[in-house]
Amino acid sequence: MTENMPISRALNAGLRRSLETNDRVLLMGEDIGPLGGVFRVTEGLQSDFGPRRVIDSPLAESGIVGTAIGLAMGGFRPVLEIQFDGFVFPAFDQITSQLAKITNRHEGALQMPVVIRIPYGGHIGAIEHHQESPEAYFTHTPGLRVVSPSTANDAYWMIQQAIDSPDPVVFLEPKAKYWQKGEVDTDAPALPLHASRVVRRGTDVTLVGHGAMVTTLLQAASLAESEGTSCEVIDLRSLSPVDYGPILDSVRRTGRMVYAQEAPGFTSLGSEIAATVTEKAFFALEAPVLRVSGFDVPFPPAKLEGTYLPDADRILEAVDRSLAY
């Protein structure tokens, strides 16, 4: 069956399905009960599944993650909501020093099926610590899987696939797209959790990104087409591990690539992908892999976010530079 719904409702439906099919799944987070979370992703779930399955936690991110580690040791599958991206750092030690390492510490005998949902990124005019892109911290940490959906269908299926994973998953939700609607096929997932996807075919330049940036890349590709340039757009979907197959196949055809992200550019996910593509497809490249990113400064006040965040014009400028080589 196919339904049209925004990403926030697709996540809600995916969480509901996991709660229904596995009684070891439980949700934890600040204000996720009667309020349904700041973005209403968990709306209605506590009333249907009760406060022992959908738990309103204290305002203590380190405590939320620490409790989830204990629950996972006891056979549960906790799904945590971090209210905003910038609030994850009080739990950073629990995530990177404990959650990411426990399975390895026990030589695989103790699994950590914990999902940490994090609304991330800009475009909502919020204040400090409410618009950040911390993905590089987690992709740099062995033992964590990191994913980010950009469509409603991916949101619905990827949250269920993340919950089913035996490993901890950092699930990054582009908050700017919570209300973006799309078709959701509730019968079967389109792709595995860690597969990248070509969302637009093209022949001249490969554009790659994740989360909210995929929409911006598609806008740039449409504008480029009106000027006679054909851009292929790839949604990364999985940030760790990265599925390089479709990216390398595309670059070997186009000879050019631009990676776009909201996060600052220095030592970022885009840096790693650019380096890997250069290593593995060097002789196919007609130009250097170019990156478009947020600037290497703290996320600015809301009135400046339009200058800070990459837009279609900045991406098109990179496309023009690539074609000029």
Between CA 96 and CA 197 the distance in angstroms is 28
Q: What is the pLDDT of residue 65?
A: 97
pLDDT at 131 over 80: no
CB 200 within 8 A of CB 250: no
Give the tokens for residue 24.
Answer: 């070891």
Scan for tokens 């919570």, then name that residue. Answer: 178
Average pLDDT of the residues in 79-94? 93
pLDDT at 124 over 90: no
CB 260 within 8 A of CB 290: no
> Cβ–Cβ contacts within 10 Å for residue 1, how many?
6
Given this structure, which CATH class describes domain 2-185? Answer: alpha beta
pLDDT category at 306 given cuts 50, 70, 90 is confident
Q: What is the pLDDT of residue 190?
A: 79
Q: What is the pLDDT of residue 121?
A: 87
Between CA 202 and CA 86 the distance in angstroms is 36
pTM of the model: 0.95
Closest-CA residue to 237 (of 173, 208, 194): 194
Give the tokens for residue 86.
Answer: 């910038």
Domain boundaries, the chain: 2-185, 197-324
Average pLDDT of the residues in 189-205? 95
Active-site residues: which are they?
A: 130
Q: What is the pLDDT of residue 145?
A: 98
Give the tokens for residue 208.
Answer: 């790659």
**3-class SS of residue 35:** coil
Closest-CA residue to 210 (of 235, 181, 244): 235
Q: Output the CATH code of domain 197-324.
A: 3.40.50.920
Average pLDDT of the residues in 223-231? 96
Closest-CA residue to 209 (of 264, 175, 153, 258): 258
Angle between helices 7-21 and 152-164 (to 10 degrees): 30
CB 19 within 8 A of CB 27: yes
Average pLDDT of the residues in 38-57? 96
CB 10 within 8 A of CB 152: yes
Q: What is the pLDDT of residue 268?
A: 95
Q: What is the pLDDT of residue 1?
A: 83
pLDDT at 126 over 80: no
pLDDT at 302 over 80: yes
Closest-CA residue to 115 (of 18, 196, 192): 18
pLDDT at 128 over 80: no
Closest-CA residue to 314 (of 252, 265, 275, 245): 265
Number of residues in the chain: 325
CB 80 within 8 A of CB 89: no
What tens digit of pLDDT does each residue of 145-194 get?
Answer: 999 999 999 999 999 999 999 999 999 999 999 999 999 999 988 799 99
Whether 2-185 and 197-324 share one fold: the answer is yes
pLDDT at 282 over 80: yes
Between CA 314 and CA 213 the distance in angstroms is 12
**3-class SS of residue 182:** strand
Give the tokens for residue 245.
Answer: 């197959």
Give per-residue burial for 306-323: e unless 16+ CB within 10 Å, then b. eebbbebebbbebbeebe
Q: What is the pLDDT of residue 103?
A: 95
Between CA 141 and CA 135 the distance in angstroms is 10
Phi, psi angle pair for 48, to nearest 5°: -90, -30
β-pair partners for 173: 119
Q: What is the pLDDT of residue 130?
A: 78
